[in-house]
C-alpha cells in the first residue's frame, strides 16, 4: 500500500509532534510511530525544560552553562539559537495546553546540576507526560494530520528505491519517504513525502541497562546512516548513575535528589567508596558518580552497588520521595527505609546522532532531523540537564519553517518508488536468535563501551560486533521483517557506530572517558567525530 503526503514524520515524541503542528499549516502530514502514540522518551522525562524565564536569569548565562558542559565541542551558533528562541517555544507549549507548575501565579523554576540559576520549567516531576498529553491532543484535533500507530519505519526511501534505480551521487541524495512495517497488519507499506522529519529519539537499548523505554533502539540513526547521511559524535553517551538494579526495561530511576537527601553509596560488602573519587562524595556531579560506580563494579566484579538510606528518618524519606518509595515497595518489594537499594548506572541520553544544521537539515535533501536522534551541535561532549526537551522544541520549529520553504520550491514530482519486495525471504521462527544477539550486543556494549573505555576494550568490542552485525545482516536479507529483527539490526549498527567514534577519539573529554588517554587533547580533538561512510 502506498500513502502519499507532503510531510512524513517518524516518531511521536516532543520533536515529531511539535514539528507536526507547524508542518500541518503547509500541507498534509502523516506521522508514523512504532507502537502506541505516547510511547517515547518524552513521556518519561521528569525534571523539565531549561529556559530563560526569569528576570534574574539571562541568555548569556544559559549559553555559558551549556558551553561549559559541552567541554569545547558545543557549536556556539546552535547553542545561541536554542537559548534565545527557547522562551518563545515554551510559551507556545503553554498555548497548546501544557500545564506547567506555578507558584504565586508565576512559573515555578527548578534548579538542576550545571545550571547557574533556577531555570527548569516543569510539570511536577512528570513534565514529559504532560507535554506529550497536550501535544497528542492538539495533533488529534488537527484535520491535516494522520497518525499511524504500530508502524515501524524500516528504511528511508532514496534514489536507491526508485523504479529505475537511479545512480546515487553521494553528495546529492534525496529522501522521498520511508518503508514502514505495519506490525498489526503484518505488511510493509510505502510512505512517500517530499519532506521527511526524522524524530525517532534515542538509542538507550544498545546497552544492557537503560532508562529509555523499549522504543529507543537507534532506528533513526541507523536508517539515516544506511541512506548515506552524515552521523557524528556517537561516542558521547550519557549514563545516569543510579537506577534500580534489575528493575526491568526501562530501568527505574532513583533520582539524584535521594543522594541530595543524604543517601550513601556503598559497595556490596558495605564499604563506602565515593571518598576515593570526589570530596563531595555521593553529591558529586552525575558523571563523576557514574564513573565511580562503574570503576568499583569492574574492580570488584560486582553487578551493582548499594544506595543506603537506612540511617535517614523513614518518615522524611516517605514524605520527600513518595513515588520512589511506593514504586520500590509495591513493584519491587523493596522497603528503601529498611533495606539498601541495589543500583547501577544506566544509559540515558545520546548526544551524537544525525548531523543537522541550525534549521534541522541533514546532509540528505528533503530529510530533516530533530530531538535526540539529531546532532545539532548543542550538547558537544556532554548534555546539560533539561536542555534536550528544549533543543527538540527549538529545532523542530526551525525545521518546520525551513522544510515548508523547501516544499514550496519543489516543482518536479517524486519519482516512482518501488514497493517493498520480500520475495525469496522466509518467515523465521528463530526468535531465540534475535533475542540472543540483542542480549549479546547489550552485554558487549555494557562491558566494553560503557562509562570507562580503553583501546583494548574497544578493539574487543569491535571484533565481536563486526561478527554479530554480519550475521544479523545476512539473517535480515533472508527473512521477512519483524519488529524484533528490525530493532536488532538497528541496535547492531548503532553499537558499531558508537565503537567507531569512540575508537577515533583518543582523548578523554566529557562523556568519553578512556584509560589510555586520560587527558583532554585540544590540539588534535577539539572537533566533532564525523562518520560519512
Ligand atoms: C527517564 C528519562 C528522564 C528524562 N528527563 C528529562 C528531563 O527532565 N529534561 C530533558 O530535557 N530531557 C529529559 N530526558 C531526555 C528527553 O526525554 C529526550 O531526549 C526527549 O524526550 C527526546 O524526544 P524525541 O522526540 O527526540 O524522542 P522520543 O520522545 O523518544 O520519541 C521518539 C518517537 O519515535 C518513535 N520511533 C522510534 N523508532 C521508530 C521507527 N523505526 N518507526 C516509527 N517510529 C519510531 C518512538 O516510538 C517515539 O514515538 C529524559 C529521558 C529519560 C529516558
Q: Which atom of ligand 1 is nearest to the CA of 212?
A: 53
Atom 13 of ligand 1: nearest residue by CA position: 45
Q: Who wins on pLDDT, 285 or 296?
A: 296
Q: Determine whether the shortest distance from the Cβ of 389 to ligand 1 is under 6 A.
A: yes
DSSP for 51-80, written as a single string = ---STT--HHHHHHHHHHHHTT-S-HHHHH
Angle between helix axes 431-448 and 483-504 (nearest 10 degrees) is: 20
Average pLDDT over residues 447-454: 95
402 C-alpha to ligand 1 centroid (Å): 23
Average pLDDT over residues 72-99: 98
Average pLDDT over residues 486-498: 98
Q: Determine whether the shortest distance from the Cβ of 199 to ligand 1 is under 6 A.
A: yes
- pLDDT score recorded for residue 461: 98
> In this structure, are residues 91 and 78 in contact, taking their beta carbons and an 8 Å threshold?
no
Q: How far apart are CA 216 and CA 460, in angstroms?
A: 25
| Spatial CB neighbours of 530, under 8 Å, sequence gap ≥ 6 | 230, 231, 232, 355
> Rounded to 10 degrees, what is the CA torsion of 304, 499, 348, 443?
-40
Total residues found in the chain within this entry: 533
- pLDDT score recorded for residue 112: 78
- pLDDT score recorded for residue 409: 96
397 C-alpha to ligand 1 centroid (Å): 17
Q: Which atom of ligand 1 is nearest to the CA of 48?
A: 8
> In this structure, are residues 340 and 266 in contact, taking their beta carbons and an 8 Å threshold?
yes
- pLDDT score recorded for residue 169: 81
The 3-state DSSP class for residue 440 equals helix
Other CB atoms within 10 A of residue 476 CB:
15
200 C-alpha to ligand 1 centroid (Å): 7
Q: Determine whether the shortest distance from the Cβ of 360 to ligand 1 is under 6 A.
A: no
520 is catalytic: no
Looking at the chain, the whole-number percentage of residues with pLDDT higher than 70 is 99
182 C-alpha to ligand 1 centroid (Å): 21
Average pLDDT over residues 473-478: 93
- Per-residue pLDDT band at 439 (split at 50, 70, 90): very high
Atom 14 of ligand 1: nearest residue by CA position: 45
Task: Read off the pLDDT of residues 193-229 as tens digits, 9 standing for 90 and up.
Answer: 999 999 999 999 999 999 999 999 999 999 999 999 9
Average pLDDT over residues 45-58: 92
Q: Determine whether the shortest distance from the Cβ of 152 to ligand 1 is under 6 A.
A: yes
283 C-alpha to ligand 1 centroid (Å): 27
> In this structure, are residues 309 and 317 in contact, taking their beta carbons and an 8 Å threshold?
yes
Q: Determine whether the shortest distance from the Cβ of 253 to ligand 1 is under 6 A.
A: yes
Task: Read off the pLDDT of residues 107-137 as tens digits, 9 standing for 90 and up.
Answer: 999 877 788 898 999 998 789 999 999 999 9
Average pLDDT over residues 318-335: 91
The 3-state DSSP class for residue 443 equals helix
Residue of 41, 132, 360, 491 with the most ligand 1 atoms within 8 Å of its CB, for mutation: 41
Atom 26 of ligand 1: nearest residue by CA position: 371
The catalytically annotated residue of 194, 286, 464, 509 is 286
Q: How far apart are CA 178 and CA 160, in angstroms?
A: 12
Q: Which atom of ligand 1 is nearest to the CA of 151?
A: 43
Task: Read off the pLDDT of residues 397-429 as tens digits, 9 standing for 90 and up.
Answer: 999 999 999 999 998 899 999 999 888 888 876
Q: Would you state the cell numbers that stand for residue 376, as one nine-digit string? A: 545539532
515 C-alpha to ligand 1 centroid (Å): 31
What pairing do the DSSP bridges indicate for beta strands 106-107 and 530-531? unpaired
136 C-alpha to ligand 1 centroid (Å): 14
Question: Where are the strands (E) in 108-150, listed by range?
Answer: 109-110, 120-121, 145-148
Q: Determine whether the shortest distance from the Cβ of 34 to ligand 1 is under 6 A.
A: yes
First to last CA, the chain: 32
- pLDDT score recorded for residue 110: 86
Phi–psi pair at 106, nearest 5 degrees: -120, 160
- Mean pLDDT, the chain, rounded, equals 94
Amino acid at each position: 500500500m502506498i500513502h502519499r503526503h507532503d510531510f512524513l514524520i517518524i516518531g511521536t515524541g516532543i520533536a515529531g509532534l511539535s514539528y507536526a503542528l507547524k508542518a500541518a499549516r503547509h500541507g498534509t502530514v502523516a506521522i508514523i510511530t512504532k507502537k502506541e502514540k505516547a510511547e517515547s522518551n518524552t513521556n518519561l522525562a521528569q525534571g523539565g525544560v531549561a529556559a530563560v524565564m526569569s528576570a534574574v536569569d539571562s541568555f548569556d548565562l544559559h549559553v555559558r552553562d551549556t558551553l561549559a558542559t559541552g567541554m569545547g565541542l558545543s557549536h556556539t551558533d546552535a547553542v545561541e539559537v536554542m537559548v534565545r528562541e527557547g522562551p518563545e517555544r515554551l510559551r507556545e507549549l503553554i498555548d497548546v495546553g501544557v500545564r506547567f507548575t506555578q507558584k504565586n501565579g508565576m512559573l515555578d523554576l527548578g534548579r538542576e546540576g550545571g545550571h547557574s540559576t533556577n531555570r527548569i520549567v516543569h510539570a511536577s516531576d512528570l513534565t514529559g507526560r504532560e507535554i506529550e498529553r497536550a501535544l497528542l491532543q492538539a495533533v488529534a484535533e488537527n484535520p491535516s494530520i494522520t497518525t499511524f500507530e504500530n508502524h515501524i519505519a524500516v528504511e528511508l526511501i532514496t534514489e536507491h528505491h526508485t523504479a529505475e534505480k537511479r545512480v546515487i551521487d553521494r553528495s546529492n541524495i534525496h529522501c522521498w519517504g520511508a518503508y514502514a512495517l505495519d506490525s498489526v497488519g503484518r505488511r510493509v507499506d510505502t510512505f512517500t513525502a517530499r519532506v521527511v522529519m526524522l524524530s525517532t529519539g534515542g538509542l538507550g537499548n544498545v546497552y544492557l541497562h537503560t532508562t529509555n523505554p523499549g522504543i529507543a533502539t537507534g532506528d533513526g540513526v541507523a536508517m539515516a546512516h544506511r541512506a548515506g547521511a552524515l552521523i557524528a559524535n556517537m561516542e558521547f553517551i550519557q549514563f545516569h548513575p543510579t537506577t534500580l538494579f534489575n528493575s526491568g526495561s526501562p530501568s527505574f530511576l532513583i533520582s539524584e535528589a535521594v543522594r541530595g537527601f543524604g543517601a550513601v553509596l556503598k559497595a556490596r560488602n558495605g564499604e563506602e567508596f565515593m571518598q576515593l573519587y570526589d570530596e563531595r562524595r555521593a553529591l558529586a556531579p552525575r558523571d563523576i558518580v557514574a564513573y565511580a560506580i562503574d570503576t568499583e563494579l569492574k574492580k570488584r566484579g560486582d553487578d551493582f552497588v548499594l544506595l543506603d538510606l537506612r540511617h535517614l528518618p523513614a518518615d522524611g524519606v516517605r514524605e520527600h520521595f513518595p513515588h520512589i518509595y511506593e514504586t520500590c515497595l509495591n513493584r519491587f518489594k523493596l522497603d528503601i527505609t529498611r533495606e539498601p537499594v541495589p543500583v547501577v548506572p544506566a544509559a540515558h541520553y545520546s548526544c551524537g546522532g544525525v548531523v543537522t544544521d541550525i534549521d534541522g537539515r541533514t546532509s540528505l535533501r528533503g530529510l530533516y532531523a530533530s530531538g535526540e536522534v539529531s546532532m545539532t551541535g548543542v550538547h558537544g561532549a556532554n548534555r546539560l540537564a533539561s536542555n534536550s526537551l528544549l533543543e527538540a522544541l527549538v529545532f523542530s520549529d526551525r525545521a518546520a519553517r525551513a522544510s515548508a520553504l523547501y516544499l514550496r520550491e519543489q516543482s518536479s514530482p517524486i519519482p516512482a518508488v518501488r514497493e517493498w519486495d520480500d520475495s525469496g525471504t522466509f518467515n523465521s521462527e528463530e526468535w531465540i536468535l534475535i533475542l540472543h544477539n540483542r542480549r549479546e550486543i547489550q552485554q558487549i556494549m555494557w562491558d566494553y563501551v560503557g562509562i570507562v573505555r580503553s583501546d583494548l576494550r574497544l578493539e574487543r568490542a569491535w571484533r565481536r560486533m563486526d561478527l554479530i552485525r554480519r550475521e544479523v545482516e545476512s539473517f535480515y536479507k533472508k527473512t521477512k521483517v519483524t519488529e524484533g529483527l528490525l530493532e536488532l539490526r538497528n541496535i547492531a549498527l548503532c553499537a558499531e557506530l558508537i565503537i567507531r567514534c569512540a575508537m577515533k577519539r583518543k582523548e578523554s573529554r566529557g562523556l568519553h572517558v578512556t584509560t589510555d588517554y586520560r587527558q583532554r587533547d585540544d590540539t588534535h580533538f577539539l572537533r566533532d567525530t564525523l562518520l560519512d561512510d
